[in-house]
Amino acid sequence: MKWAEGIDKLGLGLYFMLCIFAIANIYSVDQKLGEKQLIFFCISLFVGLIIFVGRSKFFENMSAIIYIGGVLLLIGLFPFGKEILGQKNWYKFGSFTMQPVEFAKIGTALMLANYVSGPDFNLKVKKSLWTVLAIIGIPAAVVLAIPDVGSMLVFIAFFIALYREGLNGLLFGVGFIFAGVFLVSLAIPPVYVALTVVVIAGILIAMNYHRMSWDVISISGIAGSILLLCGLAFGSPYILEKLPKHQRERIEVLYKGEKAFRDTSGYNLLYSKTAIGSGGLLGKGYREGSVTQGKFVPEQETDYIFCTVGEEWGFIGSAVLVLCYMIYIGRIYYLAEQQKSTFNRVFGYCFASILMMHFTINLGMVMGLFPTVGIPLPYFSYGGSSLLAFSMMTFIFFKLNYSDKNSLV
């Protein structure tokens, strides 16, 4: 059929497969929630159909309004949001709840794509650099103030899209160094971390002494960076102590083990790892998992849904699911790179990078490699807001891809 030309069957096929398999696993955890997730999926498909039959230019033309609307929804959480564990992440309307940060990501991706595709964009010009930082930073700052550290981390995805458009990769290195100093300083005495920073800095300076520019600005920059890293090393334990109790314990679990917090923040992780490990090679069978059916993991249908897959479908089932995600995300990156339109390409990179961040952080959480920060597994975790938002991004991108394939330009 001629109208089907340009529809990416592999990408949409994987989307449907992930959503349907997710509903089956949520149904295994809780039958009623599985039925509700099926309804959310049908609603998402209806919204997706509207997106797909609409004009592709709509999202480019309306990106600023969608972006502002997303930021306003985030700000509205402070007076009107429902507070859970010190975080106002949700609007509650009777039995219905909505998490606006998921929709703010769509607005940010569209706004960033719109600005980058403009004729005056050039990351080497300070105005362009500061503008894109503001586009990403405004919603990220509001999310951090909620506070929702997990969702704020996802905003790093937008820098991956900017890297494709010419952002200096040194920025990622700097971020990695600061994160590393912070985390290491929680495990060993800060004085040793500070001494290590000074020694490494001294070695690097000695190796590059004749190639460096020794003006006032360069010297001030080097000295300031060393002092900032040393200050972060000594300040890390203090920052940790100032976090809310549940957030502090989630970080400490990485160093002390989940058994040290088995009655609090380590409980979910302890039984999550138990469920995944008990699945063996082939799993215990659908709806046969003792940990899943025994409801040992609180909220297992949301952030910890992957442990259901591990227990009931085993290593093989988990590996197939991970492979499907990798192919799906890789496919979106590939299609994004093929776009003739800069707007389409940037949005595609934003979308794929958001998926990658969610996927990586969520799997790290359930296996104890990353603190529990409340990041859902895309398409898989229970929740109408998450499924609808990811489905909207899915259909927006595949609509843009469809229009790009059928354009004459």
For 125-178, the pLDDT digits (tens) are: 889 989 999 999 999 999 888 877 788 889 999 999 999 998 887 777 888 888
Task: Mean pLDDT check: name the lowest of 83-92, 343-352, 384-393.
Answer: 83-92
pLDDT at position 268 over 90: no
pLDDT at position 409 over 60: no
Position 232 in a domain: no
Locate 22 and state its tokens. Answer: 């997710």
Locate 372 and state its tokens. Answer: 């529990």
Position 224 in a domain: no
Q: How many domains does the chain have?
A: 1
Are 305 and 380 contacting, i.e. CB atoms less than 8 angstroms apart? Answer: yes
pLDDT at position 23: 96
Mean pLDDT, residues 50-55: 90
Between 3 and 265, name the one with better pLDDT. 265
DSSP 9-32: HHHHHHHHHHHHHHHHHHHHH-HH
Q: Spell out the alpha helix ranges (H) of 279-305.
A: 290-293
Per-residue pLDDT band for 185 (boundaries 50, 70, 90) equals: confident
Position 157 in a domain: yes
Per-residue pLDDT band for 374 (boundaries 50, 70, 90) equals: confident
Locate 275 and state its tokens. Answer: 């469920």
Percentage of the chain with pLDDT > 90? 44
pLDDT at position 209 over 80: no
Of the candidates 147, 150, 158, the residue with the CA atom closest to the CA atom of residue 354: 158
Question: How buried is residue 300: exposed, middle or buried, by Cβ count under 10 Å (0-12/13-18/19+)?
Answer: buried
Q: What is the pLDDT of residues 36-49, one digit of tens each?
A: 999 999 999 999 99
CA distance 22 to 307: 12
Position 144 in a domain: yes
Position 210 in a domain: no
Phi and psi at residue 83, in whole multiples of 5°?
-90, 130
The domain of 90 spans 2-185+244-405
Residues 318, 320, 323, 328, CA torsion sign: negative
Longest distance between any two alpha carbons in the chain, whole Å: 69
Q: pTM of the prediction? A: 0.89
Between 300 and 257, name the one with better pLDDT. 300
Mean pLDDT, residues 242-254: 74
pLDDT at position 77 over 70: yes
pLDDT at position 90: 82
Per-residue pLDDT band for 408 (boundaries 50, 70, 90) equals: low
Neighbours of 308 (CB within 10 A): 31
CA distance 247 to 256: 14
Position 282 in a domain: yes
Residues 302, 306, 309, 311, CA torsion sign: negative
Position 159 in a domain: yes
pLDDT at position 214 over 90: no
pLDDT at position 32: 93
CA distance 224 to 230: 10
Per-residue pLDDT band for 400 (boundaries 50, 70, 90) equals: very high
pLDDT at position 84: 66
Position 212 in a domain: no
In DSSP terms, which residues pair with 88 in a beta bridge? 83
Mean pLDDT, residues 357-362: 93
The SS3 call for residue 382 is coil
pLDDT at position 1 over 60: no
Residues 82, 85, 89, 95, CA torsion sign: negative
| Element (DSSP H or E) covering residue 189 | none
How high is the mean pLDDT of the chain?
A: 87
pLDDT at position 269 over 90: no
Locate 35 and state its tokens. Answer: 């039925």
Per-residue pLDDT band for 354 (boundaries 50, 70, 90) equals: very high
